[in-house]
A and B are shown apart, each in its own frame.
Chain A
Amino acid sequence: MSNDSVLRIDNVTMQFGGVIAVDNVTIDVNKGEIVSLIGPNGAGKTTAFNVITGVYAPTNGAVYFNDEKIIENYPQGKMRTMYKGENQGKYRQVLSPTPDRITKLGIARTFQNIRLFKSQTVFENVLIAQHLRRTSNLLSATLHLNGKEEAQMRKDARDLLHILELDDVADEMATSLPYGKQRRVEIARAMATKPSLLLLDEPAAGMNPQETDELTAFIGRIRDEFGLTIFMIEHHMDLVMEISDRIYVLDFGKMIASGLPEEIQSNRRVIEAYLGGAVDE
């Protein structure tokens, strides 16, 4: 492992019943990189994201963050059914942080189908992320004895919206915005958790070419300004080829190629996977 490894997915397999959604996949993301994960629909890309963010516990393999092991397999490969806690206690020695703990470690994500808090404004959406850095407890927060912290939370949220050029819509209801704007708000909300690694799940889905161009610039900018590392799933090849440092390709859960954008572009297996042709080897 190199010194500047931020994320390493190490031989991860994710199996649901008889379906192997992710099959023995290894991915490395280094500091400051923008790495893309591409592949046809149903290739297991989002499942890989869900493993990294602790939504599913992998059947096999481990995930490292800043060279520290944060997730390890369950012995029998059970899916963690959310919040029903059926695996609690059974696998005590196994690392399986919940999504909130992953976020606290510094990994933030967006969702394929935008999941903004629908009854709240853009500002409130971003403000919620400040909650994880609170130092006040229930009592002091209720009695509003944490005025200083509260003011700081609001200031941080305002500042972030300003940097990301969203302050003009700060008091709009988040879900009343046009689609492209909602995507940006979701990225802003993820940024508000102050991550060092940002996971973007199809950030350009449903965008027109102009919005996609704006998004490309936006992603590049936040990487540079915040010193972030970005790992994203995307279908828009223009976007992927333009900003990715490296690309991984999944097909039917298997890693079929990885490398620089120009290598991927000319890779025969990748082209066949996308065009649906048979692989003759």
Chain B
Amino acid sequence: MDWFSRNLPYFLAGISVGGQYALIAIGYTMVYGILRLINFAHGDIFMVAGLLMVYLSASLPVFLAIPLVIILTVLIGFTVERVAYKPLRQAPRMSVMISAIGVSYLLQNLALYITGGLAQQYPAIPWVSDQITVFGASTKRVTVITPFLTIILVILLVILIKKTKIGMAMRAASKDFETSQLMGIRINSVISTTFIIGSFLAAIGSLLFFSNYTGVTPTIGTMPGLKAFVAAVFGGIGSIPGAVIGAFIIGICENMIMMLNQYVRFDISNFKDAFAFLLLIIILLFKPTGLFGEKQTDKV
């Protein structure tokens, strides 16, 4: 029982962080599925959502601030696509990716300018940020909510994609971009929808993430962003269930490392971030398109 209560927080944290990564990873995987673009700016959208909450909650009650944060984040995600990616639709893929890196650079520098480089204290959200006790382990309520909320959102998303017209258009566009255009699918609105969904989930992810890790800095989006992308690749990029499972695996594994750290002689805590990449490289060597990715072959 002692072992259990000592290590439970790591499991809880793992599942919770995994859920947060999953919400970000979906944005990566959907965009990649349709545009074949690693949207490097996605992690920064997540960071911007955090900052918005910091500033909005300073002057507004939380129940108003939260929906506003979500709306503004979605608006930013939508705008980024329209301004930075849409003009490059006919350009080589590399150009779009560079543009994404440029947007990431811009968002970080804007955040640096506005915050002055100081970490901003994330507001406590009532109920969500409260301390609770689970099987004798003390944690914030957000830890417990996250996995459930994530799964509910994923199920809703899958229903959206499977059942609605826009979802069908999305699936068509990710199967064959060119042909779906010829079939009369309005590709720009499909892509915008994808970014709107991605940013919406990133905003939710950001609310959950920062309720646990309360300092928002301009570069804080980089690592969760990269890890969420790794999760998306790990699960097989383009596949939503793949991204979610990948994210949970990575979230749990990195907290397992922290758990193991209590028992081993060497301090291995600084491999927490690197481990996700190690896992990725190993999986890519055996399954080059990820766990649930479709096998691709070259046409000669």
A residues with CB within 8 A of B: 46, 50, 55, 79, 81-82, 84, 86, 111
Contact = CB atoms under 8 A, between A and B. Distances in A.
12 contacts: A46-B300, A50-B300, A55-B300, A79-B297, A81-B288, A81-B295, A81-B297, A82-B297, A82-B298, A84-B288, A86-B288, A111-B300
Contacts of A82: 297-298
A12 B300 CA distance: 19
A54 to B, nearest CB: 11
Nearest to B297: A81
A64 B298 CA distance: 25
Nearest to B286: A86
A212 B226 CA distance: 54
Contacts of A79: 297
Contacts of B297: 79, 81-82
Interface residues on B, range: under 10
A134 B191 CA distance: 49
A46 B298 CA distance: 13
B286 to A, nearest CB: 8
Contacts of A81: 288, 295, 297
Contacts of A55: 300
A111 B299 CA distance: 11
B70 to A, nearest CB: 41
Given A50-B300, A82-B297, A86-B288, 8 more contacts: A46-B300, A55-B300, A79-B297, A81-B288, A81-B295, A81-B297, A84-B288, A111-B300
A84 B297 CA distance: 10
Contacts of B300: 46, 50, 55, 111
A79 B298 CA distance: 11
A191 B295 CA distance: 34
A50 B297 CA distance: 13
Q: Name the 7 nearest CB pairs between A and B, nearest first.
A: A84-B288, A82-B298, A55-B300, A50-B300, A81-B297, A79-B297, A111-B300
A82 B288 CA distance: 11
A225 B173 CA distance: 51
Nearest to B284: A84
A14 to B, nearest CB: 13
A124 to B, nearest CB: 21
Interface in B282-296: 288, 295
A50 B300 CA distance: 8
Nearest to B298: A82
Contacts of B295: 81
Contacts of B298: 82
Contacts of A86: 288
A84 B287 CA distance: 9
A219 B175 CA distance: 41
A81 B298 CA distance: 8
Contacts of B288: 81, 84, 86
Contacts of A111: 300
A214 B41 CA distance: 54
Most buried by B among A55, A82, A84, A86: A84
Nearest to B299: A113
A111 B300 CA distance: 8
A18 to B, nearest CB: 15
Nearest to A86: B288
Interface in B250-300: 288, 295, 297-298, 300
A59 to B, nearest CB: 15
A79 B297 CA distance: 9
B280 to A, nearest CB: 16
Interface string B106-134: 00000000000000000000000000000
A46 B300 CA distance: 8
A243 to B, nearest CB: 25
Nearest to A79: B297
Nearest to A112: B300
Most buried by B among A50, A79, A81, A111: A81
A236 B169 CA distance: 40
B293 to A, nearest CB: 12
